[in-house]
Amino acid sequence: MLDFQLHFNLKIETMKNKFKLFLSVLFITLLGSSCEDYLDVPPEANLTEKDVFDTYLKFQGFEDQLYLNLVDRNLSSIVVGHNLTGETISKISFSTAVVAAQGDYVGLTSYQRSNFKFFGSNEGIWGSSLKGIRTANIAIENFDLLQNATQAEKDVIKGQAHFFRAYFHFEILSAYGSFPYINTVLDPSGDDLRLPRFYEYKGKFDYQACTEYIVEDLKIAADLLPEKWDNVNNGRITKGTAYAIMAKALLFAGSPLMNEFSRKSATIDPEYMKRAAEAAAEVLKIADKGVYSLVPFDKYKDMFAKTDGLIPYSSETIFQKIRRDSGSGEINTFLGRLYLPDNALFGGNANCEAPTQNFVDIFEMADGTKYKPGTIAEGGYDYDNTKRWNGRDPRFRKNIYVDGDMAGIHPDTRLQLWDQGSPIGRTQADGNQASPYVVHKFWPLGANRKDNGWGTLRLATPLLRLADVYLMYAEAVYNTSKDFNATSSNYSMTALAAINKVRARAGHIQVTNLGVYNNDFNALVRYERDVELCFEGHRWYDMRRWKIKPDATLYRMSFDKNYTNFSRVAIQPFIFLDRNYWMPFPNDLTQSYSAFPQNPGW
């Protein structure tokens, strides 16, 4: 693979040069290398920097670095997930979920492992995005050097560069707030680095101003990229990827938190919603041509994990990081250190993020009504074996394992999750789970030592899939007009039909009225996003942009082997202050000059 070196001068003393270190990420130097697989650089790319851009093959090799900068929300490093709103919890203090529950976003960005760590052993969204922005700008500024290429090849080179420049800005923007749009290769020895956080562009300010730049780049990308590549190139970005990220960027910009952060009020901006709906519609039109489709429900889990040795990539996948990892390392390094019970059979680790009772309660009943906590006398379902974990939205059991479920074919793989049960033994010294549930989404049947599915396991967390686009379309269309029977200007599907399409794939009851949702279509949207996209890294962004704070206390269910007693036990408080709507920036950066202030409260 192409390798590159970041020349960090860690002895720089002045604040000015410290800012250069953060913002420009300094020089990318090609060191060359070789391999023929997709996203590996071809042999011809063992070149000096001055002649790397003259042919399509070499230029594409350079741009393939951009794909390596993508951050898979569950697979970026050991013990790192993206469940920051109480959907999971752990017994281990350094768990990403625990640190988030404590409201310690400084910890998430500095001394703890997370997808938001600035720099270090696992470089997350911040460092990877800054690298990606610089790489994309180098590609754009050297585009005219590409001579030995067809027009189609030139189009995909230029389209990919503009897409990734937009995408990596969006990664930073959506987590940290208003950020300079860096559309040139910054000279780390120059004086052009004091870029302001807050600015105007096209009559928009701050967060929305940056969004306008993002949309410009994505429109260029969408015009240039193909609707699909050949199968060898699965994972490369397409026209649909560009429109889908555009829809998400516009949807976010029109949401209450981002609208407020753009010198307006914490309300929905219908104009941004209209534009988001139209961008999402372009993806749905491509899907109607057969490029994308919702996978059948019996193949649902194949989008996230497979035990046949193949990369989890489906007809529903629009955008994801293509990883070469496979086999036992997927459990030993990733899944087992994040979601699995701690024993030799399953490969779990001391850290295990287990779904909370709070999140389990969200899943509807099969008839579309809400789950009712409590005893039978109280009208609740906790003691009812037909309703507690059964008779629920079909997606519940696709995403969460409960007591008695089989994690494989071998009899030893039955999960015993009751108090003092094996393997978790929550009240025993060696138990590693804070709650008696297991994330099922990424753990396919048979991926254990007894059933021999361990050695051929491959994992992925899609960054975007078609179900997400249907849900974005529904939200955007409705919030343009407040009519769930409305459509976008360029597509005939109604907002309600888009929601029901996603529910129909799961075999869940169709929505005909909003009584269960207090006559609030946005409550239905929130439910669908919670359930359909759970554990994929979306919920933290969604709850923030809607300005909805997580539950104040996290709970687990305590119960005995014979199911004679059930009680809800508080695990810990969940701290979410107003400052937690945004991640903090590096202090060295914000202390460098007054035009780049820290986020409020940090």
Final residue of a structural domain among 542, 576, 594: 542
The residue assigned the tokens 């050949």 is: 230
Q: Could you tell me if 394 and 365 are in contact, meaning their C-beta atoms sit under 8 angstroms apart?
A: no
How much is the pTM? 0.92
Among 345-349, 352-356, 421-425, 569-573, the minimum mean pLDDT is found in: 421-425
Average pLDDT over residues 40-69: 78
511 in any annotated domain: yes
Q: Could you tell me if 106 and 361 are in contact, meaning their C-beta atoms sit under 8 angstroms apart?
A: no
583 in any annotated domain: no
Among 5-19, 148-162, 198-212, the minimum mean pLDDT is found in: 5-19
Q: What is the pLDDT of residue 324?
A: 87
114 in any annotated domain: no
557-586 residue pLDDT tens: 999 999 999 999 999 999 999 999 999 999
163 and 55 belong to one structural domain: yes
* Dist CA 221 CA 215 (whole Å): 10
Average pLDDT, the chain: 89
- Find out whether the peptide bond into 423 is cis, omega within 30 degrees of 0: yes
441 in any annotated domain: no
56 and 191 belong to one structural domain: yes
Q: What is the pLDDT of residue 120?
A: 65
272 and 209 belong to one structural domain: no
513 in any annotated domain: yes
Which structural domain, as residue segments, surrounds residue 267? 244-302+466-542
35 and 156 belong to one structural domain: yes
Q: Is pLDDT larger for residue 468 or for residue 37?
A: 468
Q: In percent, how much of the chain has pLDDT > 70?
A: 89
Q: Work out how many domains the chain is built from and give that number.
A: 2
3-state helix, strand, coil in the chain (%, to 5): 40, 10, 50
Q: What is the pLDDT of residue 6?
A: 29
211 and 255 belong to one structural domain: no
* Dist CA 366 CA 381 (whole Å): 13
Q: What is the pLDDT of residue 302?
A: 95
Q: What is the pLDDT of residue 112?
A: 86
51 and 147 belong to one structural domain: yes
Judge whether residue 33 has pLDDT over 70.
no
Which CATH number fits the domain that encloses residue 206?
1.25.40
Final residue of a structural domain among 542, 570, 590: 542
Final residue of a structural domain among 524, 542, 560: 542
Judge whether residue 30 has pLDDT over 90.
no
pLDDT band at residue 122 using 50, 70 and 90 as cut-offs = low
Q: Could you tell me if 397 and 445 are in contact, meaning their C-beta atoms sit under 8 angstroms apart?
A: no
28 phi and psi angles, rounded to 5 deg: -105, 120
Average pLDDT over residues 237-263: 98
481 and 534 belong to one structural domain: yes
194 and 297 belong to one structural domain: no
Average pLDDT over residues 61-85: 95
205 and 258 belong to one structural domain: no
Q: Is pLDDT larger for residue 498 or for residue 191?
A: 498
Q: What is the pLDDT of residue 452?
A: 81
373-413 residue pLDDT tens: 999 999 999 999 999 999 999 999 999 999 999 999 999 99
The residue assigned the tokens 């060295």 is: 588
286 and 217 belong to one structural domain: no
Judge whether residue 421 has pLDDT over 90.
no
17 in any annotated domain: yes
Average pLDDT over residues 304-313: 94
